[in-house]
Chains A and B, each alone.
Chain A
Amino acid sequence: MSAAQAQIVRRGLFEGYDTGSFYDEMFSAPNQPRPHYAKIFQKLAALAPAQFEERRKLADLSFFLQGITFTVYSDGRGTERLFPFDLIPRILPNSEWQKIDAGLSQRVVALNLFLQDIYGKQCILKDRQIPTSLVYSCKHFHREMIGVEVPRGIYTHICGIDLVRDSKSGEFYVLEDNVRTPSGISYVLENRLVMTRTFPDAFEAHEVQPVNHYPAELCRILRSLSPRGAEAQIVLLTPGIYNSAYFEHSFLAQQMGVELVEGRDLVVDGGVVFMKTIRGLKQVDVIYRRVDDEFLDSLCFRSDSLLGVPGLVAAYRAGNVALANAIGNGVADDKAIYAYVPAFIKYYLGEEPILNTVKTYLCHKPDECKYVLEHLEELVVKDVGESGGYGMLIGPASDRARIEEFRQRIRANPRTYIAQPVIPLSRVPSYDATTGRVVGCHVDLRPYCLYDGEKVTIVPGGLTRVALQYGSLVVNSSQGGGSKDTWVLRGEN
């Protein structure tokens, strides 16, 4: 860096920026941007904080007008909040992405084979690669699905696999597979749109791989599932406007040109699903459902559910309607099953896993449970059936009472818990409106994988979620997290 540039940096957004002891996605050393960040750093560093602030407000306004908000129910009335968007992009060079892409594809195929097997011949249980009791005790394992032939053998049409970069090794680790109804893809597409509108000059120097083919690809896969062939009536089933991901449901329906329906719009007659239109009942072939298994059909699962369609599971089992994702995928999301995914990859594909998984202690194993109980202060403990940051203990950040509470819980229900070492997440510089400067904030990465039974298509990048509360490790939107546009470059910089 020249003396003049250094001068600019000292006065600009990056004044006093500290990479800390973490892997910084932008800098390899203080004031030393990585090659793939060099150009954007120059641009950002040259901006006065006021100019940056102006663009940030423009971006916020754009999200607000489009109603890209989620609803927080704290005062009984429900208030709408923006999912905060940080303008500084998260950038990955192509070579790094290629490895992630290969690793995720491998994982998705293996997970699909596992689900086919578990609800089919159960070879993996017979070969004793994974304990039968572990699988059968999964909260989201559904016996109703055993022996059901799902359309084209696909269970995991859409996966949103969470990755994090470990600050120590600089390598990516898989954190969760999310093979049920992962959300967030709409933010990927909207973030990119807003970014190109408010920061067009940032794209000038880079060749960024596009993301907007996602809806078309998803629609193609949904269409291919139709039991009636080309005559496919596709719908997206949403729990309704009070669901926090409602924006995404309507967004995807609009982008794909399919009908957005609620449970009350559908009716099952003679094992066939219909929707109520102004011209009478119309047969439905494919349902991209964003309603959880347990709420899908009050005749089969929770009888108090009003979100689903009575008789839907019977229609599905009869092969008259296709569902994406399949019912019963939750077994693969179980955090204890997670520990066995590398074994699935070897068992089903005969390959070595490309991506790392986090060391996982299974509390139902007495020796591992003993270790966990002795090291609670330094571990993250998770409820195997939960997602979204609920039911978690972050040892180093918890007080004695909370740790003791989890100790009791683990002792009472060891099968319900797993533990993992704390991973120091990598950071990306992010704008702090209160100081007008950037600070390092922890990020994860959720790429969205689409599987058509033959190949896995992954939109380059995915959703980078960022813990905008300085120092926080929790990136969930319900816990104050935000997001960034994620760029995969065509080349290395």
Chain B
Amino acid sequence: MLSRIADSMFWLARYFERAEDTARILDVTYHTLLEQAEHPYRLRWEPLIAMAGEENRFRQLYGEANAHNVFEFLAFNPDNPSSIVQCITKARENARTMRDRISREMWEDINGFYFVVTRFNAAEEIAAGPHRFCEKIKFGSHRFHGVTDATLPHDDGWEFLRIGWSLERAEMTARLVDVQYHDLLDPNGTTAAPGNHQWMAVLKSVGAYEAYHRQYHSSIEPELVAEMLILNHQHPRSIRFSIQEVQAGLRAISGTGPGAYANEAERLAGKVLERLRYDTVGEIFKQGLHKYLRELSRMSAAIGEDIARTYFYYEVVA
């Protein structure tokens, strides 16, 4: 497989995942805010901007955050490189450079979705609220996964897709948990009153609300929510599950067995995964959740860079 194609596969999947994750968070936060009219200060809009890592750009464009401009910025704004429409545009651009390699069904699906997404009337959607829009993005992303899984040979190309969306998901979940907890924990480290809606919002945004109840049979406890999102080995949106997927993809490409690694990306993925396997949520909170998640984000970014160095942009001596 050409290095350039592998690179495009990786980013096609990442951009789709970023669009979906952004849509999930936007949707849930918005609706939680509606229910929490008496505590508007609790779940503010800023964390969403922080999650996208675009605080400076946002402030330059809008100043103060409110429901409308946050939606506009995260969903449509062409100057926000991580806006949903921009992500889908870039995903499609990547697909276009390798449409001979992806299945015809994938291309038609991605291309059709691109035309749907880029033809939304932003003003109309903003007036209608984000739910309708975010649902379409979520389903678009799920369809992408389904069509891909069902029509693309599960070869190296598929592995790069899997690594792409898994790595993106790990990073997005880490940011989500970090930003939300940072905001929800008050300065002296104790959590806000139990049973509040914010924790539910966090769970719902990653589609883990029902799974949480099945797993813990308890009311919403912040530490358990964190455990679910960081350490659960079965929930497809937890960080541990995502890194497992990254490792499986990397091993499938290099043919490396358990207990060994063929390159720096595999070494780091293995190292991160070992921690996620054996750390407990108590230990994590003891050393500081924020610090722990920051470290996970940093490692995920490093894995991405090492994948690029190993497979996409290695030096050619000619």
| B-chain residues with CB within 8 Å of residue A240 when the two chains form the complex | 97
Complex CA–CA separation, A447 to B281 (angstroms): 70
- A260 near B100 with CB under 8 A, answer yes
| A-chain residues with CB within 8 Å of residue B99 when the two chains form the complex | 67, 250, 254
- A278 near B100 with CB under 8 A, answer no
Say yes or no: is A269 at the interface (Cβ < 8 Å to chain B): yes
User: Interface readout for A142-171 with B: 1 if CB under 8 Å, 0 if not?
Assistant: 000000000000000000000000000000
Say yes or no: is A134 at the interface (Cβ < 8 Å to chain B): no
Complex CA–CA separation, A267 to B314 (angstroms): 13
- A64 near B98 with CB under 8 A, answer no
Complex partner residue of A241 from B6, B97, B318, CB under 8 angstroms: B97
Say yes or no: is A434 at the interface (Cβ < 8 Å to chain B): no
Complex partner residue of B2 from A241, A250, A265, A268, CB under 8 angstroms: A265
| B-chain residues with CB within 8 Å of residue A268 when the two chains form the complex | 318
| Least distance between A321 CB and chain B CB atoms (Å) | 15
Residue with the greatest number of chain A CB neighbours at <10 A, chosen from B93, B100, B107, B111: B100
User: Interface readout for B287-318 with A: 1 if CB under 8 Å, 0 if not?
Assistant: 00000000000000000000000011010101
Say yes or no: is A419 at the interface (Cβ < 8 Å to chain B): no
Chain B interface extent, by class = 20 to 34
Say yes or no: is A292 at the interface (Cβ < 8 Å to chain B): no
> Chain B residue with minimal CB distance to A236?
B100
- A260 near B98 with CB under 8 A, answer yes
With A65-B112, A66-B111, A261-B2: A276-B316 Cβ-Cβ less than 8 Å: yes
> Chain B residue with minimal CB distance to A69?
B111
User: Interface readout for A232-243 with B: 1 if CB under 8 Å, 0 if not?
Assistant: 000000001100
User: Interface readout for A263-305 with B: 1 if CB under 8 Å, 0 if not?
Assistant: 0110111000001111101000000000000000000000000
User: Interface readout for A320-343 with B: 1 if CB under 8 Å, 0 if not?
Assistant: 000000000000000000000000
- A275 near B2 with CB under 8 A, answer yes
Of residues 127 through 146 on chain A, the ones whose CB sits less than 8 Å from some CB of chain B are none
| Least distance between B69 CB and chain A CB atoms (Å) | 24
- B96 near A265 with CB under 8 A, answer no
- B4 near A262 with CB under 8 A, answer yes
With A241-B97, A254-B99, A267-B316: A278-B3 Cβ-Cβ less than 8 Å: yes
> Chain B residue with minimal CB distance to A275?
B2
Say yes or no: is A251 at the interface (Cβ < 8 Å to chain B): yes
Of residues 30 through 76 on chain A, the ones whose CB sits less than 8 Å from some CB of chain B are 64-67
Say yes or no: is B156 at the interface (Cβ < 8 Å to chain A): yes
Say yes or no: is B193 at the interface (Cβ < 8 Å to chain A): no
Say yes or no: is A377 at the interface (Cβ < 8 Å to chain B): no
| Least distance between A238 CB and chain B CB atoms (Å) | 10
Complex partner residue of A251 from B3, B96, B100, B108, CB under 8 angstroms: B100
Complex CA–CA separation, A66 to B106 (angstroms): 10
- B253 near A278 with CB under 8 A, answer yes
| A-chain residues with CB within 8 Å of residue B139 when the two chains form the complex | none
- A276 near B100 with CB under 8 A, answer no
Complex partner residue of A65 from B101, B111, B318, CB under 8 angstroms: B111
Say yes or no: is B1 at the interface (Cβ < 8 Å to chain A): yes
- A65 near B4 with CB under 8 A, answer no
Say yes or no: is B115 at the interface (Cβ < 8 Å to chain A): yes
| Least distance between A245 CB and chain B CB atoms (Å) | 14
Say yes or no: is A253 at the interface (Cβ < 8 Å to chain B): yes
- A67 near B96 with CB under 8 A, answer yes
> Chain A residue with minimal CB distance to B310?
A278
Complex CA–CA separation, A264 to B253 (angstroms): 23
Complex CA–CA separation, A253 to B3 (angstroms): 17
| Least distance between A306 CB and chain B CB atoms (Å) | 14
Complex partner residue of B100 from A67, A253, A264, CB under 8 angstroms: A253
> Chain B residue with minimal CB distance to A62?
B108
- B3 near A276 with CB under 8 A, answer yes
With A66-B108, A67-B107, A276-B3: A241-B316 Cβ-Cβ less than 8 Å: no
Write 5 A-B pairs (CB below 8 A) sorted by A numbering.
A64-B115, A253-B100, A254-B101, A262-B4, A281-B316
Residues of A near any B CB (own CB < 8 A) = 64-67, 240-241, 246, 250-251, 253-254, 259-262, 264-265, 267-269, 275-279, 281
